[in-house]
Amino acid sequence: MITRQKTALGNAFTLIELLVVIAIIGVLIALLLPAVQKVREAANRMACQNNLKQIGLAFQNHHDQHTFFPAGGDDWTTPPTYVGGATPAVGSQQKAGWAFQILPYIEADNAWRGGSGTNETERILVAIGTPHKIYFCPTRRGPQTVRTGYSEYLNGTVCTRALIDYAASNLDDDEGGVVSWLYPNRIADITDGTSNTLLVAEKRLNLTSLGQPQNDDDIGYSSGYEVDIARRTDDTPAPDFYGTSDYFDDGGELFGSSHPARFNAVFADGSVRTISYSIDAEVFWHLGNISDGCVINFDDI
């Protein structure tokens, strides 16, 4: 009696069947990938909005305790100010900007006080070099630092600086923003109404240069009143971009983000909204001014 044995080849895919299966898998991946990216971006946008919500609440809590909002600080050459080398100064005495001044209200009191530093310099180095997750949009990047040294800052000491993805309104004092150079504003100064006035929003960056010192991303969150922590509303916002790095003009002093179509912002009343990159220039200018007498139609943003 002759028996027949099945070989493995008898049950194998033919070449055509294999190619069909591969093609189907490729189509499914092509269909699923955009959906996954949309879900990821939706989650990142929500996380970014939550960051701004916490920043807005920190401004409100600062105002509740001190009767004024944080100011923009002095300029990029001035590190955080410690009274007697030990206690962080507040108000116009504090030379570091708003993002340093709200640290106690975002559960970063230790960095605000300079950790366990035993003198002012040690405290400053801890404060400026400690990254805070809340200051970074997850669509763009996670917490990031750079190492820089400038002769005008701490006598040229090369040090770690924690960066930030958010900026206050308004870099140009002539535009009358909530956050201004050195001297703080109060809620009563916002005569246009807190719900009509931009407070903090995402800032535009050159993605090619992330992690490298850029003119608007090198001093970090603790900077005084300059482009690292403040942007203009007298020019329209724009999305992030990849391009040849120009140290002196990477982000163009503009608001913007890595989100498609719209970027996130928190207003002086603590409300978080999205703003279109195509917003009318005049409307955006009014958003940044605390007392121009213009009421904004939010359908226009």
pLDDT at 15: 78
Rounded Cα distance between 196 and 188, Å, is 14
pLDDT at 19: 81
pLDDT at 4: 45
The band of 6, judged by pLDDT with boundaries at 50, 70 and 90, is very low
* Torsion over CA: 285, 290, 291, 293 (sign): positive
Q: Give the predicted TM-score (pTM) of the model.
A: 0.87
State the average pLDDT over residues 162-186: 90
Residues 6+ apart with CB under 8 A from 120: 82, 85, 86, 114
pLDDT at 245: 64
